[in-house]
């Protein structure tokens, strides 16, 4: 039995497979267009749809991870969209991202600095395997050049997060309250980033 759901403006098929010898429910994202639910014969279609709704953030993150892994050697991600390397005549993708990020990020930092009334002392860029951004004790901000892979709204979240650290040097309730004022869906955006680390 199969049904379709819409995830990120894309129709995804959910295949519900029932077996007598299965005691639990198993949910897997097989590819960006196909989700599998394996379960017992008494599991209903309504229960399957409820499960999808409850696990939607995890499903979205899994789809993003699969798409990232399935990028061909001649492709790269640019602001959330697949692009051909030859189209941009790229020799070194890291150098490309480093040049491109300065076209977007400083203006966004300036925009959110004014909205939040929090101003960094400096902005630096580097490739980092573990973090998307950081704020040092002097209120200098560092950003990962690999942010260029993702849609602008994810870059905005990292900027808001790091600007909030100018006021709160920890992840206290006050910190998250400040982030939420400027990024109400921050939890969803944060989960997407965590899925890549």
Taking CA atoms, 15 is separated from 1, 27, 49, 89, 141, in Å, by 6, 10, 11, 41, 45
* pTM score of the predicted model: 0.67
Mean pLDDT of 43-70: 85
pLDDT over 60 at 197, yes or no: no
Residues 123/106, Cβ–Cβ less than 8 Å:
yes
Residues 97/148, Cβ–Cβ less than 8 Å:
yes
pLDDT over 60 at 196, yes or no: no
Q: Hunting for tokens 């199969």 — which residue is that?
A: 2
Of 16-20, 44-48, 130-134, 190-194, which range is least confident? 190-194
Could you give the domains of the chain?
Answer: 2-70 (no CATH), 87-194 (3.30.2010.10)
Of 54-58, 112-116, 177-181, 189-193, which range is least confident? 189-193
- For residue 142, the model assigns a pLDDT of 96
């Amino acid at each position: 039995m199969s049904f379709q759901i819409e995830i990120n403006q894309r129709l995804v098929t959910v295949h519900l497979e029932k077996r007598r010898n299965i005691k639990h429910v198993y949910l897997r994202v097989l590819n960006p267009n196909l989700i599998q639910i394996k379960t017992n014969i008494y599991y209903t279609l309504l229960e399957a749809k409820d499960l999808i709704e409850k696990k939607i953030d995890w499903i979205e993150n899994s789809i993003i991870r699969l798409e990232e892994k399935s990028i061909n050697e001649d492709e790269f991600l640019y602001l959330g969209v697949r692009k051909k390397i030859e189209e941009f005549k790229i020799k070194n993708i890291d150098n490309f991202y480093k040049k491109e990020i300065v076209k977007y990020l400083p203006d966004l930092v300036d925009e959110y600095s004014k909205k939040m009334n929090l101003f960094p002392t400096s902005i630096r860029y580097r490739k980092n395997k573990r973090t998307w951004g950081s704020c040092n004790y002097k209120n200098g901000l560092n950003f990962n050049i690999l942010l260029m892979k993702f849609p602008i709204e994810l870059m905005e979240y990292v900027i808001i997060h790091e600007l909030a650290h100018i006021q709160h040097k920890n992840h206290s309730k006050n910190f998250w309250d400040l982030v939420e004022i400027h990024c109400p869906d921050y939890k969803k955006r944060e989960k997407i980033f965590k899925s890549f680390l």
